[in-house]
Amino acid sequence: MLFQNRTFRYLFISYGFSLLGSCFASLALNLWVLQTTGSARIMFLLFLVVLVVTLSAGNIAGTFADRFDRRTIMWVCDLLNAAIMAVISLCMYLNYTPLALVLVIVGLQTFVMLFHGPAFHASLSNILQKELIPKATASINIIDNVARILGLAVGGTVVGFFGTAAATGVNAVTYVLSAIFVLFAGKFQSAHVQNSHAPSTDEPITADSPVTEPVAEPTGTKGFWQDFTAGFRFMFGDPFTRSIIILMPVISAFFTMSLMMIQVMTVIVWKAAPAEFGIIEACVPLGYITASWILMKLDTRIKKKGFWIFVGTLGLGPIFILISRMNEPAQVYPLIFALGFMYCLCTLLLNVAIRVEVDSGLQGRVFGMVATVNGPLLTLCVGFSTFFADSIGPQNVLLFAGALLTLCAAVLTVVLTPLRRYQSLSNLTKSTSA
């Protein structure tokens, strides 16, 4: 039933092409910078450029996605990315790599992707019934991981045989294909709405909760700055949405930091062979895909979503601690699988909550805010872990991170009451229409 929806089917294919090409590009770009500059500092500069652009434009991009046609934003961003990748490919081919150009190109691509992300993620509520949102979110997570695995594997092969210029050239083509499939999807509603039916009290969110219907306004009725500030007022004034904005970056930042430390431990502490390193790397996406498949099958039958969100969150810290105490790779495989499973469980349900409970006209700003908050928190966690890994060892950093995340998760479970009590509004459409 989900893929019988023509618009979703073509957006799904478009997203897959875009991700596949992005994995090609990230691999090729990192190799290009390291090979041509030989400097880890340049890589850090690129990281800073991404952070600064995200902090500066994340919320602006989210507001833009709520005010204008999301389909147009997506295909324009795809074509802009194709042009950026074509320029990078040409520079690689000509061996023309001034630092300023590299920084500008990376900044431009980050800027464009900031607009594409909220437009895509917020568009699902425009094209699907609410009861299909959990299944759609899970299917997107599956294609996300499949595309990343294939993209990195095939991208490495292309770089090895044909060079970095060829890999980024392929990426330019995949972005063009992504834009074409967005156009094939046809037009869909992209209403600019004034308010949300997300709950604004600490009461449990259930199918019997009262619903405030959104009041639609023509795009552009308000000024951009008014919508920008209204988005902030809603996101930080509504307890449920505020809880999501707090929890998602915390989970993502600690998870990313843990993966970095596990990679370091694999090489330095466990002295893993290449095959063992590959298995460890594959365990995380395998956990993602398994959790996504289970949630896609269960979809609306999962009623106590808030409970499962915090089960996943509370489970991450102890897994970090257990991994930090392991002495050989074979002991770690099931733990890393569980890590990917738990992370997917809580983040997937949080994404479903945004798409189901927040009005479509505000979702772009919520997704943009999550990306904006995640940037500095991720920088802080990664900076902390890399700074102390050399002095006290990656396993001790992971142990500390696990203990800290466990404490944070326990506190947030108590404090974020609206999210903890969150159940499901997936059958509201049926109950109100009846």
Token reading at 42: 């340049």
Closest CA to 276 of 350, 204, 326: 326
Closest CA to 369 of 256, 226, 243: 243
Token reading at 282: 């594959």
Judge whether 2-190 and 233-433 match in fold.
yes
State in words which class domain 233-433 has: mainly alpha
| Beta carbons of 316 and 342 less than 8 angstroms apart | yes
Distance CA 385, CA 42 (A): 19
Closest CA to 102 of 33, 185, 175, 180: 33
Amino acid at 257: M
pTM of the model: 0.75
Tell me which CATH homologous superfamily contains domain 2-190: MFS general substrate transporter like domains (1.20.1250.20)
Sorted by sequence, the CB contacts under 8 Å of residue 300 that are 6+ apart come out as 131, 134, 424, 426, 427
| Beta carbons of 168 and 25 less than 8 angstroms apart | yes
Per-residue pLDDT for the chain (434 aa), expressed as one digit of tens each?
A: 677 788 888 888 888 887 776 766 666 666 666 666 655 566 667 777 878 888 887 788 888 888 888 888 888 998 998 898 888 888 877 877 677 777 888 788 888 888 888 888 888 877 877 777 878 888 887 877 777 666 666 666 666 667 777 777 877 888 899 899 988 888 876 544 434 334 433 444 333 343 333 333 444 456 778 878 888 888 888 899 999 999 998 998 888 888 888 877 877 788 777 667 767 777 888 888 888 888 877 766 777 888 889 998 999 999 999 998 888 877 888 998 999 899 988 888 898 888 888 887 888 888 888 888 887 787 777 777 777 877 788 888 889 989 999 999 999 999 999 888 887 644 333 333 33
Residue boundaries of the structural domains of the chain: 2-190, 233-433
